[in-house]
Amino acid sequence: MRIEIVGARSIPDSREKPTIETTLRSGELEAKASVPSGKSTGAHEAKELRDEDGSVSTALSNVTGEIAEAISTREFASTKELDAFLIELDGTPDKSRLGANAILSVSISATRLFALQAGVPLWRYLADTYGTTPSAPRLFVNVMNGGAHAGFRLPIQEHIFMVGEATLTESFATAERGFAELGEMLKSETDDLQMGDEGGYSPAFADFDKPFELLTKLVEKHQNTAIAIDSAANELRNDHGGYTLIGKDYTSEELRKLYVDLVGKFPFHAVEDPFAETDSKSFTELTADIGKQVLVIGDDITVTNPKRIENAIEEKSMNAVLIKPNQIGSVSEAAEAVKKTHSAGWATVCSHRSGETDDTFIADFAYGMGAHGIKAGGLGQKVRREKYERLCSIEKEVTI
């Protein structure tokens, strides 16, 4: 397929931060994609290219200039071929020359074009191209935002209502009911209630257990649900090599015991980034402690990088991996990360970012890859809801 870059422009993400939207064309077919950005990021993520003023002007110029010129004279048979070409064109290990955001916007747009050319839904093209088995993911709904996403009003960055009903439509309905019910509970608990970056409620509780007590009430009310958290522990690291939560310092060992106690006390399904990315030993110890009961998910420590995931597998430092395409910068490498994780018998959870757009690619990717779950934020923002709604649409496509 011959691909032409029609254009690229800067659009605001959900945090009003500039990001890239790229439009591609092949004959009569046209597709576009916009890419998200994260606030709490891992040190080893592929490099998002931003100018000193925070704009994406250079990245846009790379899309409409060097990348457009390079791909315009070639034929590509698949996303795999295109991604391999773009990675070679960039020539750096972290995509810092052309920008991971620039490359990913082209990669996702092209994937949509290839799906249109094949006459199949996007999720089906992804599954066929990368040899995965599509399945419905569980919904990991970030109902209470804390950490860097909400001015540390709560120390834990994400308090998640996990829903795994028989169908995605039922799961989304349960998530909506739970989100509304939690809102009413929070209103009765506090007058200081805000909304966080990811469309979840953001209360301020001095009692560390309070959010889990409220979530437990939801879980007890709704079958096929559980609690999950993303500690984003890079953000909790203190100057003494330990961690600080609500003004109290913890060693790695003390924090590990805190998680063990939480999982024993409340109906947990998963714990993500319980320690900083440099604290892999603690990951391994916690996985040995609770890995048979819950998922221990790596994010900042693995950053959707197949090589880092391979290291984690060797160290047995987790039993699940978060997958964020913009951490690695191409669809094909994100798919490789999924397959590497699944080959170890581990679960994957595909995820949005805190700075999101209305692009729903992550929903098709999660379904097509056969991911265990999807994180797309809370239900208080349109750009978050759209991902869950796309999953419900996919379910209808499957049954047609």
DSSP conformation letters of 164-233: --SSHHHHHHHHHHHHHHHHHHHHHH-S-EEE-TTSSEEE--SSTTHHHHHHHHHHHHSTTEEEEEE--G
163 and 111 within one domain? no
Q: Which of 63, 90, 120 is the last residue of a domain?
A: 120
Segment 319-342 mean pLDDT:
99
Judge if 108 and 237 occupy the same domain: no
Whether residue 246 is found in the same domain as residue 395: yes
User: In which band, very low, low, confident or very high, does the pLDDT at 40 lie, cut at 50, 70 and 90?
Assistant: low
Q: How confident is the model at residue 296 (pLDDT cuts 50, 70, 90)?
A: very high
Residue 125 placed within a domain: no
Considering the domain boundaries, does residue 281 fall inside one?
yes
Least confident of 166-175, 198-207, 332-341: 198-207
For 231-290, the pLDDT digits (tens) are 999 999 999 999 999 889 999 999 999 999 999 999 999 999 999 999 999 999 999 999
183 domain residue, yes or no: yes
Q: In this structure, what token pair is assigned to residue 361?
A: 């690619």
Band the pLDDT of 400: cuts 50, 70, 90.
low
Give the pLDDT of residue 148.
Answer: 74
CATH of residue 204: 3.20.20.120
Instruction: Report if residue 22 sits inside a domain.
Output: yes
Among residues 65, 96, 120, the one where a domain terminates is 120
Shared domain check, 172 and 104 = no
The domain that holds 113 is classified in CATH as: 3.30.390.10
Is 269 domain-assigned? yes
Residues 213 and 71 in one domain: no
Same domain for 103 and 224? no
d(CA 84, CA 106): 12
Distance CA 193, CA 398 (A): 40
The tens digit of pLDDT for each residue in 43-52 reads 899 999 999 9
Residues 95 and 152 in one domain: no
87 and 206 both lie in a single domain: no
Mean of the per-residue pLDDT values of the chain: 96
Q: In terms of pTM, does the model score above 0.75?
A: yes
* Domain span holding position 106: 4-120
pLDDT over 70 (residue 327)? yes
At 153 the pLDDT is 83
pLDDT digits (tens, 9 = 90+) for 55-70: 999 999 999 999 999 9
Residue 149's pLDDT is 61
257 plus 370 within the same structural domain = yes
Whether residue 386 is found in the same domain as residue 325: yes
Where a domain ends, among 120, 155, 180? 120
Looking at the fold, whether 262 and 343 belong to one and the same domain comes out as: yes
In the chain, how many domains are there? 2
- State residue 81's pLDDT score: 98
Rounded (to 5) percent helix, strand, coil in the chain: 45, 20, 35
Quick one: pLDDT at residue 147? 80
State whether 112 and 147 are in the same domain: no
Residues taking part in catalysis = 198, 324
